[in-house]
Amino acid sequence: MNPKKKFYEAAAETLIKNLDRRGMEAYYVDNSDEALNMALRFVTPGSSVSWGGSVSINEIGLIPALKASDCVVLDRTVPKTDEEKKEFYSKVAVCDYYFMSTNAITMAGELVNIDGNGNRVASLIFGPSNVVIIAGMNKVTDNIDAAIARARNTAAPMNTIRLNRDTPCTELGHCCNCMKPDCICNQFVVTRRSGQEGRIKIILVGEELGY
């Protein structure tokens, strides 16, 4: 085992204990293939599933795997009009499994997320029966301050570039605390524990995933 993998494994062992204290189930897997297999094992046949915008879940191949499974897929790319989106998100709010990643996670077990429209963090906070988070170990930070800094200065600028947004961070490579119409840093959410024991499930992956 190379030093990075050994470090990830040791850090994950500590992190899993801290997440458990906060009412969140956590697991560690070595790579993306194992992450995909574990994520799919959570889903029961016939259950409804959806997901938030996430590079990490795309990188492990989760979306096509869900579409090929025997579950009811609520695909966020399908609704186009405001009315269709309203109806769609009302269904997501009561779905069985919601998949997402997190912008950062502290070694103490707190989740930190920045969101544009708020639908992703809304589902994390309340609604779907189960929330399954796939997070590469590159998203683990020492504390809340470092997690917020990571979300603002790493995750957000990369996502604005990916989404072709007109914001200063796309040019400067760091958060400028802007108020531009295209800003995606509208909601800052810290999840310090799960009010429903085991509702939030976290798959920690021993490689770099997402932003």
Domain membership of residue 26 (yes or no) is: yes
Q: Supply the range of the domain harboring residue 196.
A: 3-205
**Region 34-57 average pLDDT:** 97
Instruction: Label residue 62 by pLDDT band (50, 70, 90).
Output: very high
**Region 18-37 average pLDDT:** 98
Domain membership of residue 211 (yes or no) is: no
Domain membership of residue 106 (yes or no) is: yes
Domain membership of residue 30 (yes or no) is: yes
Residue 33 structure tokens: 């293939």
Domain membership of residue 210 (yes or no) is: no
**Region 65-77 average pLDDT:** 96
pLDDT at position 69 over 90: yes
Amino acid 1: pLDDT: 75
Q: Chain-wide mean pLDDT for the chain?
A: 97
Domain membership of residue 126 (yes or no) is: yes
Q: Which pTM does this prediction carry? A: 0.95
140-177: pLDDT as tens digits:
999 999 999 999 999 999 999 999 999 999 999 999 99
179-197: pLDDT as tens digits:
999 999 999 999 999 999 9
Domain membership of residue 65 (yes or no) is: yes
pLDDT at position 77 over 80: yes
**Region 110-116 average pLDDT:** 97
pLDDT at position 15 over 90: yes
**Region 54-68 average pLDDT:** 97
Domain membership of residue 182 (yes or no) is: yes
Q: What is the CATH number of the domain that holds 21?
A: 3.40.50.10420
Instruction: Count how many domains the chain has.
Output: 1
